[in-house]
């Protein structure tokens, strides 16, 4: 069964013609890890700053942690394999915060509340006689 989760576009670190490099959120236990996902399963999300990634129950995600230095930037420091449920747990907070923009009905109108007029006295020097 196909599932999808919404992620922020800021989590996309690189794109090629066939795959997308997605970083895990900072507030998850997989902070610093990222994974490659096929670009055919990455689509536009609920709003302009979100994307939807699709997967099935059979997917296993190979998380990799790359070096942050000048000389080991492309070197894999650590590697983990997680299932779809752990991925949903990691991106769960992000998915809950991404909502579709509210579209108002064109028939919905707003009528302001009527206010009573106030009587004010004008300065005598301003009144034409």
For 16-40, the pLDDT digits (tens) are 999 999 999 888 889 889 999 999 9
Instruction: Render pLDDT for 70-114 as a digit per residue (tens, 0 to 9).
Output: 887 788 889 999 998 888 888 886 666 655 555 666 666 667 788
Q: Is 120 helix (H, G, I), strand (E, B) or coil?
A: coil
pLDDT reported for residue 13: 92
How far apart, in whole angstroms, are the C-alpha atoms of residue 42 and residue 15? 11
Q: Where are the beta strands (DSSP E) in 39-95?
A: 42-44, 50-56, 60-66, 76-83
Range with lowest mean pLDDT among 10-14, 44-48, 50-54, 90-94:
90-94
CB under 8 Å to 55, separation ≥6 — which residues?
A: 2, 3, 4, 5, 37, 41, 84, 87
Tell whether pTM > 0.85.
Answer: no
Which backbone phi and psi does 71 adopt, to 5 degrees? Answer: -100, -20
């Amino acid at each position: 069964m196909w599932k999808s989760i919404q992620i922020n576009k800021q989590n996309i670190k690189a794109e090629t013609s066939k795959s997308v490099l997605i970083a895990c959120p900072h507030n998850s236990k997989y902070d610093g890890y990222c994974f490659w996902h096929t670009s055919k399963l990455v689509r536009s999300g609920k709003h302009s700053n979100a994307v939807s990634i699709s997967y099935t129950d059979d997917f296993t995600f190979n998380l990799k942690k790359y070096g942050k230095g000048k000389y080991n930037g492309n070197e894999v420091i650590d590697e983990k394999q997680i299932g779809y449920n752990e991925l949903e747990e990691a991106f769960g907070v992000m998915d809950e915060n991404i909502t579709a923009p509210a579209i108002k009905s064109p028939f919905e109108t707003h009528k302001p509340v009527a206010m009573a007029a106030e009587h004010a006295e004008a300065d005598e020097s301003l009144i034409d006689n």
